[in-house]
Structure 1
Amino acid sequence: MTASVNGPLDRLPDGRRHLLRPAGTAPGSPMLATLSSRRDFDEEWIFERKLDGVRVLATRTEDELRLLSRGGKPLNATYPEIAEALAMQDRHDFTVDGELVALWRGRTDFARLQQRMGLTAPAAVRASRVRVTYYLFDLLRLDGYDTTRLPLRTRKRLLRDAFGFRPPLRFTPHRNHYDDSLLDQACADGWEGLIAKRADAPYVHRRSTDWLKLKCSGGQEFVIGGFTEPAGRRVGFGALLLGYYQDGRLHYAGKVGTGYDTATLRSLRRRLDGLERQRSPFADGEVRERAVHWVRPELVAQVAFTEWTTAGLLRHPRYLGLRDDKTAHEVVREQPAGRS
C-alpha cells in the first residue's frame, strides 16, 4: 500500500507504510494484559508503570470527540476536562488508549478516583476536589489510518510526536531494560507493579500475552454476591462476600471487611438493599457465613489482597472501590502465566 498521509505519519519509514490501513469508525475493545510471574526478559520488551485507575479510549473525528470506558460507556460528562484537553489538540482524527487516574502525593489512588467515577451532573463534577490525569500509552488511529498493525515502539513514537502533553494529559514513559531491581523499586515506590509489553507487537482488541502484568501484590476485581450485618457500632454492613466466575458459575473467594469509610458503608448498603434476593448466587455449599443477605451478582469491587490460601480464599483482603467499567461476568480468577 502506498499511503498519502500528512503530519507524523509522513515520517514513517517506507518499511512501515504498508502496515497502515484505512481506519474504521468504531474504536473496538481495548487490548488487555495477562497476569504473569515471568521475570526473565530480553531486549524485545519494554516496561511501563502499572497505573491504578480506569481504562479509557478516546476517539475523535472531525465532528465528535468521545471518551469511552473499557465496555464502551460514554465518559465525557464525568471527565469533561480530559475531553476539553483532547479537543484542543492539533490532531482532529485519532483514537488513543490510556489510563485515567487520580494522583495523591505522586501516586495513583483508586479510592480517591472513586469520588469522581459516576458523577455526570456538571455542578457535581465542578464541585469535586478530585483532579484526574489521563496517561496515554498507545495510538490506534491517526489521520484516517488504522495504526494497530505497526510495532508498539513505532506507535508510541507517533503518539509522542502527534500530541502536546500538558496537564491533564501525560505521555506514559517506559524503560527498555529489565532486572529485578526495576520491579522492586516500583513496589517500594508504591506502584501497583509493571506492565511488560513486547516492543514489536501489534495492537489487538483482546487479552494477549504480548502484554504482561507484573504485580507487586495480589489484587483484582470480584463480584459481590452478598453481605453480612454490621456488629457493634459499625453501620451499613459487616463484610462483602466476593466471588468470580468459572465455567458459568460464581465461586466464593472470601469476604472483605476492611477498606471502607462510614460514607461508603452507608451508600453501598443502600445499593445492596436494592439488589437483595432470597437465594445464594454462589455455587452450592461454598459459603459458611451466618446472617447473610444475598444479592444479585451485578456489582464489581476492586480488592487488594496478599495471596490466595490453599483453600482458594483471599488472605488479608482490603476493599478499594467499585468498578463500573467491567461487567460481573467478565470477572474470573486471574492466574499468572509461567516465569519462563
Structure 2
Amino acid sequence: MNGWLTPMLATHTDRRFSDENWIFERKLAGVRVLSIRDGWRPQLWSRSQRRIDDCFPEVVEALAELGGSRFIADGEIVAYDGSATSFYRLQSRLRHGGPAANSQAQVYYYLFDLLSLDGAEVTHQPLRERKRLLRKAFHYRDPLRYTEHRERDGEAYYRQACARGWEGLIAKRADSPYRAGPSGDWLKFKCVRGQEFVVGGFTDPQGSRLGFGALLIGYHDEGGRLRYAGKVGTGYDFATLRAMRDRMDAMTQADNPFADEVAEPTAHWIRPEMVIQVGFAEWTRDGRLRHPRFAGVRMDKPATQVVRETR
C-alpha cells in the first residue's frame, strides 16, 4: 500500500441491537495504532500520523518476532487499571517517549483488523475474512493480543460489558470493507459517557494548587466553529498540572478561540490544538458538561476532527 490511509472510525449511536450480519467487540480505552512493516523493523503510527515506536518498544519487538515481514494492521494499545483499560495510565509513556522510570504500566496491543498482508491490500475484503487472515498472520502472546468478537447478540453482550465495567462495545458490519474515516459500518455502544474535547484556554490556580485551575474545552460544530462545553477542574495529578501548564504557556494567544462568550475572569487563551479525553455524567440543556473529569491528553486525534458525539 502506498501513502497514508486514515484509520476507519466508529460512529456513536444510542441504539443497541442484535443482528446476525454484525459482530461485536470490546471497546478499549487506549491509543489507536497502525502497525506497518515492509521488510524492515515494524513501525507504530498514531491516527494523527505521529511515529510512536519509542513509546512502546516492547510492542515493536513483539511485532518483529511474532508477525511476518510485510503487513499493515490496525489495533489499540492499552494499559489496565484492575480489570478496566485506563487511558490515563498510558500518559507517562506518551509524555516521555518510552517506559519511563516512574511508569510501571504494562501495555498490550490488541489487533482487530488487517489492511495489507505480504504486499497484498485486503481492505476490500469483508471484515470476517480480514479477521480470519489477521488471526493467522501473527503468533499471539503478550503484549500482542487478538481482539475476540461476539456474533449476533449485541444487546446481551452490551449488558455484560457494562456489568463488567467496560467502556462499551464496537459493533461492526461483518461484510464491510475497510474504509478511511468515520463510517456507519462501525458503531460505538458506550456504557459510560466520554469523548475528546479541544482545549481553548485555562484558568488560574487557586489556593495551594499549581499549574492551572481548570481547562476550558470545546468541540467543533457543523460549521467548523469551536463551541464552548465547559471547564474541567478534576482528574489531574501534580505532574500533569505542571507538564500541561508548560505546554500551554507556549501556545498562548490574545483572542478567545471559542465562538461563545466564556465568563471566566482569569481565563488565558491558547491556540485550539490540544485534544484531551474527558469523562462526564451528561450534557446539560445549555450545552455544557455535568461533572466532567480529565482522563488524559490524546496524541492520536487532530483537534479539527473533534465534534460533539452525544446529545
Indicate whether the TM-score tops 0.5.
Answer: yes
Matching residue within 37, 40, 47 for 1:63 = 40
Does the 8 Å contact 2:150/2:157 carry over to 1?
Answer: no
Matching residue within 250, 253, 274 for 1:277 = 253
Structural mapping, 1:313-332, within 5 Å: 313-332=288-307
Helix, strand or coil at the partner of 1:276: coil
Aligned to 2:179: 204
Judged with a 3 Å threshold, the aligned counterparts in structure 2 of structure 1 residues 211 and 110 are, in CA distance, closer, same or farther, namely same
* Aligned-residue offset at 1:64: 4.1
Alpha-carbon deviations, 1:64-83, whole Å to 9, x = none? 42111102211111111111
* Aligned-residue offset at 1:179: 4.8
- The alignment status of 1:178 with 2:153, answered yes or no, reads yes
- The alignment status of 1:84 with 2:61, answered yes or no, reads yes
Helix, strand or coil at the partner of 1:115: helix
Helix, strand or coil at the partner of 2:218: strand
Alpha-carbon deviations, 1:242-284, whole Å to 9, x = none? 0111212211001111111122122212222222222211114
The 1-side partners of 2:174 and 2:245 are apart by 45
Does the 8 Å contact 1:217/1:307 carry over to 2?
Answer: no
The 1-side partners of 2:116 and 2:155 are apart by 35
Aligned to 2:204: 229
Give 5+ residue unaligned stretches, structure 1: 1-23
* Aligned-residue offset at 1:198: 0.5
The 2-side partners of 1:139 and 1:157 are apart by 9
Q: How many equivalent residue pairs?
A: 310
The 2-side partners of 1:179 and 1:333 are apart by 25
Judged with a 3 Å threshold, the aligned counterparts in structure 2 of structure 1 residues 231 and 44 are, in CA distance, closer, same or farther, namely same
Letter in 2 for 1:232: G
Helix, strand or coil at the partner of 1:283: coil
| TM-score when normalising by structure 2 | 0.95
Aligned to 1:46: 23
Letter in 2 for 1:277: Q
The 2-side partners of 1:126 and 1:233 are apart by 27
Moved more, 197-206 or 173-182: 173-182
Matching residue within 226, 231, 238 for 1:262 = 238
* Aligned-residue offset at 1:25: 2.9
The 2-side partners of 1:179 and 1:320 are apart by 27
The 2-side partners of 1:126 and 1:61 are apart by 32
* Aligned-residue offset at 1:40: 2.2
Does the 8 Å contact 1:46/1:175 carry over to 2?
Answer: yes
Identity of aligned residues (%): 55
* Aligned-residue offset at 1:59: 1.0
Letter in 2 for 1:140: L
Give 5+ residue unaligned stretches, structure 2: none
Aligned to 1:104: 81
Aligned to 2:220: 245
Aligned to 1:19: none
Judged with a 3 Å threshold, the aligned counterparts in structure 2 of structure 1 residues 314 and 267 are, in CA distance, closer, same or farther, namely same
Aligned to 1:7: none
Structural mapping, 1:119-138, within 5 Å: 119-120=96-97, 125=100, 128-138=103-113
Helix, strand or coil at the partner of 2:276: strand
The 1-side partners of 2:239 and 2:154 are apart by 43
Aligned to 1:188: 163
Judged with a 3 Å threshold, the aligned counterparts in structure 2 of structure 1 residues 27 and 156 are, in CA distance, closer, same or farther, namely farther
* Aligned-residue offset at 1:335: 4.4
Helix, strand or coil at the partner of 2:200: strand
Does the 8 Å contact 2:24/2:154 carry over to 1?
Answer: no
* Aligned-residue offset at 1:294: 1.3
The 1-side partners of 2:228 and 2:36 are apart by 38
* Aligned-residue offset at 1:27: 5.0
Letter in 2 for 1:210: D
Matching residue within 130, 142, 163 for 1:155 = 130
Moved more, 176-185 or 224-233: 176-185
Alpha-carbon deviations, 1:152-210, whole Å to 9, x = none? 11111111112100000000001113253321221221211000000111111121000
| TM-score when normalising by structure 1 | 0.87
The 2-side partners of 1:333 and 1:90 are apart by 38
Does the 8 Å contact 2:278/2:296 carry over to 1?
Answer: yes
